[in-house]
Amino acid sequence: KAGVTQTPRYLIKTRGQQVTLSCSPISGHRSVSWYQQTPGQGLQFLFEYFSETQRNKGNFPGRFSGRQFSNSRSEMNVSTLELGDSALYLCASSFQHATNEKLFFGSGTQLSVL
């Protein structure tokens, strides 16, 4: 059974640009969550999608957005990139993101903003 797949693995952008990251969950998983990981801030929750609907959102500015498709694949978009957006972006999937479910993480997309 394939794991969670994130593309691209690495990305270099400049300030002001926008970026789209992709996440394919484990087959059968309908929930996809996104996290930002930085050395100083740990894992910060961005948002969670289930059946194409955003169910929860963390405390990030509106420049961060996402969506989920009917096949459960998800994308997140960051517009008007800032230097502080440099981070590892992780997505995680689960069947339905119940509070007792474990998350399966992808390898992440390492975003560098210059």
Partner 1 sequence: GQQVMQIPQYQHVQEGEDFTTYCNSSTTLSNIQWYKQRPGGHPVFLIQLVKSGEVKKQKRLTFQFGEAKKNSSLHITATQTTDVGTYFCAGPARQLTFGSGTQLTVLP
C-alpha pair distances (Å), 101 with each of 84, 94, 110: 31, 7, 26
Closest listed residue to residue 38, CA positions, set 78, 1, 82, 90: 90
CB of 98 vs partner 1, minimal distance in Å:
9
Residue 90 engages partner 1 in binding (rule: CB under 8 A): yes
CB of 1 vs partner 1, minimal distance in Å:
15
What pairs with residue 43 in β-bridges?
37
Q: Which residues bind partner 1 (CB under 8 A)?
A: 33, 35, 42-43, 45, 48, 55-56, 58, 90, 92, 97, 99-100, 102-108
